[in-house]
Amino acid sequence: MPCLKITLAYDGSNYAGWQVQPEAHGPTVQGEVAAALKRLTGEEITPVAAGRTDAGVHARGQVISFSTRARIPVERWPLALNSVLPADIAALEAVEVAPDFHARYCARRKWYRYTIYNNRVPDVFCRRYSWHLRQPLDVAAMARAAAYLQGCHDFRSFCAAGSPVRHFERQVQQASVSQNGPFIYFDVIADGFLYHMVRIMVGTLVEIGRRRLVPEAIPAILAARSREKAGPTAPARGLCLERVEY
């Protein structure tokens, strides 16, 4: 039975995250994709995603995998899926992969971007995709702090309480802050992420941008291995899964 790897983009604003869960309040991206697959194939398919994005988080390069008996040519899959998906979810690309391919477990690294809109006046067209902060932020200090997040660390301080994981070490290949006009971007590439890890990183960097912490506080926060030492969790709406590499 062929296995497919499909790249998706979606606006997560109206979804209770990627994964179907009994307690989910509202539709999920996985649920919508599964319903679209059933309409196309008549099969009960549970698509697997590279990143289980939270409620309100977006994606430009989410990757899913699934097996199907449907005889749709691989190059026709994006068009076929887009004909039955909601307007805020789009299939971008499809390729056939080995039967043992798994979108999550085969991923080598993921790139997330967080967007802050730093301006006194809000931009109504960006409000669903960025965190609006009126107070001017010290972007240079935030950039210096982000550099301390690179490397292999125990990121327990940047993991939300209640996470079931037992191992907190992650390898961060890149963590950087850049600015383009009123937009501040935090880009992070790693082999994996903990629950709310990127959003807690952003919340901590904003505390540094507000001069409530110094950039040199990051090593001590990492060493503490305590969620209480890091900053608040940034809102979900500014976060986007940009790309997954295999």
Check 54, 100, 138, 191 and give the catalytic one: 54
Q: Is residue 138 annotated as part of the catalytic site, yes or no?
A: no
| Structure token digits, residue 227 | 């969620």
Residue partners of 219: CB distance under 8 A and separation at least 6: 148
Contact 218, 204 (CB under 8 A): yes
112 among annotated binding-site residues = yes
> Can you point out the beta strands (E) in the chain?
3-10, 48-49, 58-67, 89-97, 109-118, 131-133, 151-154, 169-180, 183-190, 239-245
The answer to whether the beta carbons of residues 70 and 51 sit under 8 Å apart is: no
Question: CA–CA separation, 136 vs 209, rounded Å?
Answer: 8
Nearby residues of 181 by Cβ (< 8 Å), 6 or more positions away: none
Cα 158 from Cα 100, distance rounded (Å): 32
Q: Report the binding-site residues for substrate.
A: 112
Residue positions forming the annotated binding site: 112
Residues labelled catalytic: 54
